[in-house]
């Protein structure tokens, strides 16, 4: 989960100054003490995650006296602007923490190193191919995907038990039609069956759409991508729209909320369930009132089963780094199975590595870890993260169109027209 604080010009300038200061060295990649110096830009922000990252850097420095890593704290809210400026100013950190959906322009722009010849076989074979596809652009691999976050249903256990509804499992999840019916049954006086926090609706819609066979973005033989909508692309947005506007089983007021905004209402019994990213469990553990019982359920499934799109957190190496080999060695150290587990637990997310994912510490029912691990097998690359022009389509076309559709201001046909017709005009400018 990324922290959600509004980016301002002052914040960008301040963070950039700190970033460039933290990344400065002797000019040749040394640290002034005869050692190889590496800068590691970390976007960890939760205390457990920051502590885990800093401890691992400390352990590396203690065991690698000739290669010193300098930990640099970054922010999810400003990282794209920071990196762009640092790349253009030839001041980029050696090792870069980011997300796969932010890498495309940097990869195609030549700012990131192709990692194919730098990474050890242990690491490349441990992470599944579907995860590597999230960081593959053209013929190169420009990041190591290491943490992933499915979307799950966090539910009030007491309400579920009292209702008598069937409890879904990863082996027998609710269908989207059943989910819609369940939310109607859970809706009562002063309570909604579900609250959809859709302040940023695009990734939720596209990623969950894979479960119903939705694709929306279709690459052609010439490599160009066009937007087309099939029946599967309507299943998820149609279900959400109908829950809000027809069944009144989903809270309309939640549509403009972020995930954290729904938690007070969830704790107060206003919502029986909230679809959230897996890492929100930490906030539930920390903020839930004493005695509050909750559980983690898999998201609904369709023709694509439990498939979901994800954009994993990644580690990359700057193309301008004078010590790419050493930077890759540090990444390999960070992502040893036991270390990957530490990073995953610190962020309340799931590791991509198969060895780490098999760790017994993650196969516990406590706090829903085992449900997340079961869902992880079905995670796939987010549908549009490698599509050039996607950020503009998301911000200028899809976000306002989906917001209006979910609120009932426009119908399905108008949504389709705007996503496809307006969307293809945007993509065409990037694919000439």
Which pLDDT tens digit goes with each residue over 252-296? 999 999 999 999 999 999 999 999 999 999 999 999 999 999 999
Say what the pTM is: 0.89
Q: Which CATH class is domain 9-149+311-381?
A: alpha beta
Half-sphere exposure of 163 (CA within 13 A, CB side): 21
Give the 3-state secondary structure of residue 430. helix
Which pLDDT tens digit goes with each residue over 179-235? 999 999 999 999 999 999 999 999 999 999 999 999 999 999 888 999 999 999 999
Per the CB < 8 A criterion, the answer to whether 431 and 418 are in contact is: no
The first and second tokens of residue 321, run together, are: 């780094």
Which pLDDT tens digit goes with each residue over 6-45? 333 334 444 444 444 444 443 455 556 678 999 999 999 9
CA–CA–CA angle 28, 19, 334 (5° rounding): 75
Which pLDDT tens digit goes with each residue over 81-111? 999 999 999 999 999 999 998 998 899 899 9
Domains 9-149+311-381 and 151-298+388-430 share a fold: yes
Domain boundaries, the chain: 9-149+311-381, 151-298+388-430
Residue 22 has a pLDDT of: 46
Tell me which H or E stretch contains 222.
none
Pairing of strands 151-156, 294-298: antiparallel
Q: Distance between CA atoms of 205 and 392, rounded to whole angstroms? A: 17
308 forms beta bridges with 379
Pairing of strands 379-381, 308-310: parallel
CATH 3.40.190.10 at 151-298+388-430, yes or no: yes
User: Which of 70-91 are b and which e, b meaning 16 or more Cβ less than 10 Å from the residue's Cβ?
Assistant: bbbbbbbbbbbbbbbbbbeeeb
């Amino acid at each position: 989960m990324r922290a959600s604080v509004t980016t301002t010009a002052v914040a960008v300038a301040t963070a950039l100054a700190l970033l460039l200061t933290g990344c400065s060295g002797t000019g040749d990649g040394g640290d002034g003490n005869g050692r190889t110096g590496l800068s590691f830009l970390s976007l960890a922000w939760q205390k457990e995650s920051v502590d885990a990252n800093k401890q691992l850097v400390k352990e590396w420095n203690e065991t690698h006296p000739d290669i010193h890593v300098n930990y640099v704290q970054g922010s999810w809210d400003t990282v794209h602007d920071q990196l762009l400026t640092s790349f253009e100013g030839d001041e980029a950190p050696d090792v870069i923490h980011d997300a796969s959906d932010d890498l495309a322009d940097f990869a195609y722009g030549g700012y990131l190193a192709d990692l194919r010849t730098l990474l050890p076989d242990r690491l490349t074979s441990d992470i599944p191919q579907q995860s590597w596809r999230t960081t593959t652009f053209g013929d190169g691999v420009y990041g190591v995907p290491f943490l992933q976050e499915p979307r799950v249903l966090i539910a009030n256990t007491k309400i579920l038990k009292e209702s008598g509804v069937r409890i879904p499992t990863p082996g027998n999840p609710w269908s989207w039609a059943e989910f819609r019916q369940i939310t109607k049954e859970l809706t009562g006086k002063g309570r909604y069956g579900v609250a959809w926090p859709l302040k940023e609706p695009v990734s939720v819609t596209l990623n969950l759409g894979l479960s119903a066979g939705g694709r929306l973005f279709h690459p052609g033989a010439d490599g160009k991508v066009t937007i087309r909508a099939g029946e599967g692309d309507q299943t998820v947005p149609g279900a959400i729209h109908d829950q809000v506007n027809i069944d009144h089983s989903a809270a309309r007021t939640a549509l403009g909320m972020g995930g954290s905004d729904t938690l007070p209402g969830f704790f107060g019994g206003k919502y029986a369930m909230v679809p959230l990213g897996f890492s929100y469990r930490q906030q539930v553990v920390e903020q839930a009132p004493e005695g509050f019982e909750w559980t983690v359920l898999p998201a609904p499934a369709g023709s694509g089963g439990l498939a979901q799109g994800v954009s994993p957190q990644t580690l990359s190496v700057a193309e301008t780094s004078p010590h790419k080999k050493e930077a890759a060695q540090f990444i390999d150290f960070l992502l040893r199975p036991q270390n990957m587990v530490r990073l995953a637990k610190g962020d309340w997310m799931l590791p991509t590595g198969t060895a780490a994912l098999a760790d017994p510490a993650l196969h516990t029912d406590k706090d829903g870890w085992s449900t997340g691990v079961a869902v992880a097998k079905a995670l796939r690359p987010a549908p549009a993260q490698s599509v050039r022009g996607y950020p503009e389509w998301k911000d200028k076309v899809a976000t306002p169109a989906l917001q209006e559709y979910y609120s009932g201001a426009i119908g399905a046909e108008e949504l389709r027209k705007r996503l496809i017709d307006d969307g293809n005009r945007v993509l065409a400018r990037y694919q000439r």
